[in-house]
Amino acid sequence: MVPYLLRRVAFLVVTLFLASVALFLLLRLLPGDPANALLSVGATPQQIAAARHEIGSDQPLPQQFVTWLGQVATLNLGHSFVSTLPVGPQIASRLVVTVPLTLLAFALAVVIAVPVGFVAAYRSRRWYGALLGGLSQLGIAVPVFWVGVLLITVFALKLRLAPAGGFPQDDWASPGAALNDLILPVVTVALVMSASLIRYVRSATLDVLDSDYLRTARALGSSFVSAMWRHGIRNASVPVISILGIELATTFLGAVVVESVFALPGLGSMLVQGIAEHDYPVIQGVLLVSTFAVLVIGFLADLAQRIIDPRLRAPHLAASR
């Protein structure tokens, strides 16, 4: 297990480095000079040259990358060109909105998807099983922003059961108010995510229901519940866990849309503002943190699969991974 962890950590570090290189180069390929964020309309060539020297965009790209990589290595993500504030603390303050939104939506989606997906598979030949499967297919095609607008219209504007958007200025100092503001965003993300998860839970459950080992356990006298608990759940959870990792990462990255719809001061709205202002340190910082989060989620999903499935810990399989 230890050699596997060392290999995965090394792979995580190399992947993060390659992602940082790609991120740095892709941002430099965008039209426009980042120094424009410091200048007003009608700036003179001298002012443009001074601004470029101030932010370092007049240096060769390799030198700019080495400087930025040195800052990242010391957990310094630089200072915003527009506000001149350090980017790291700004990202940390936005994560207190994005992370709870992501985790709460993920938990609610799992609570919805697991029983619904199981029923859709177990009763696949009944009309309601087919209906649940069809609704999950329909839910995948629905854009998340449309679901958010619909929920705002019904539950915020008409029924007035929840706020339409915003977040307390003191963040989580008032947990009740913060959770109240997150109700509709969490439900929005959870509904869209659960539609996708239901499909995978249904597929994994169907594979288990048709498996030889489950029929053998039933033939040996085990009840359906006992056979599913002892043999089915573990086998069905292995492919679902990898999908859960992907869905969690997708939810984290997709927060930009939901936060825009509900006017939440999270990481997504910070990224949109940084792009609009050509604020490179903000864009680089947000994307780097998001990339790191996605890689860590993938690492944890792989680790969970290895813990649950003993076949992945077999010596001959471990050597091939």
DSSP string, 249-311: HHHHHTHHHHHHHTT--SHHHHHHHHHHTT-HHHHHHHHHHHHHHHHHHHHHHHHHHHHH-GG
Residue 113 has pLDDT above 80, yes or no: yes
Instruction: Label residue 320 by pLDDT band (50, 70, 90).
Output: very low
**CA-CA distance, 194 to 144, in Å (whole number)?**
12
Percent residues over pLDDT 90 in the chain: 5
Q: Exposure pattern of 131-163 as b/e (b: 16+ CB <10 Å)?
A: ebbeebeebeeeebeebbeebbeebbeeeeebb
- 82: which DSSP letter? T
Point out the least confidently predicted range of 41-45, 118-122, 203-207: 41-45
Task: Enumerate residues 6+ apart whose C-beta is below 8 A from 279.
Answer: 34, 37, 80, 81, 82, 273
Beta carbons of 205 and 117 less than 8 angstroms apart: yes
How far apart, in Å, are the Cα atoms of 191 and each of 124, 140, 152? 21, 9, 14
Taking only the tens place, the pLDDT of each residue in 76-94 is 888 888 788 888 899 998 8
Q: Which of 258, 260, 100 is nearest to 180 (CA)?
A: 100
Cβ-based neighbour number of residue 266 at 10 Å: 25
Instruction: Tally the C-alpha atoms within 13 A of residue 123's C-alpha that lie toward its C-beta.
Output: 12
**CA-CA distance, 319 to 246, in Å (whole number)?**
25
Secondary structure of residue 19 in the 3-state scheme: helix
Domain segments of the chain: what residues? 2-73, 88-320
Chain mean pLDDT for the chain: 81
Beta carbons of 276 and 32 less than 8 angstroms apart: no
> 88-320 — its CATH code?
1.10.3720.10
Q: Which residue has the higher pLDDT, 224 or 22?
A: 22
Point out the least confidently predicted range of 158-162, 179-183, 208-212: 208-212
Q: Which amino acid is at 292?
A: F
Both ends of the chain: CA-CA distance in Å? 12
Q: Which of 71, 92, 90 is nearest to 82 (CA)?
A: 90
Partnered with residue 86 across adjacent β-strands are: 79
Secondary structure of residue 210 in the 3-state scheme: coil
**CA-CA distance, 187 to 147, in Å (whole number)?**
9
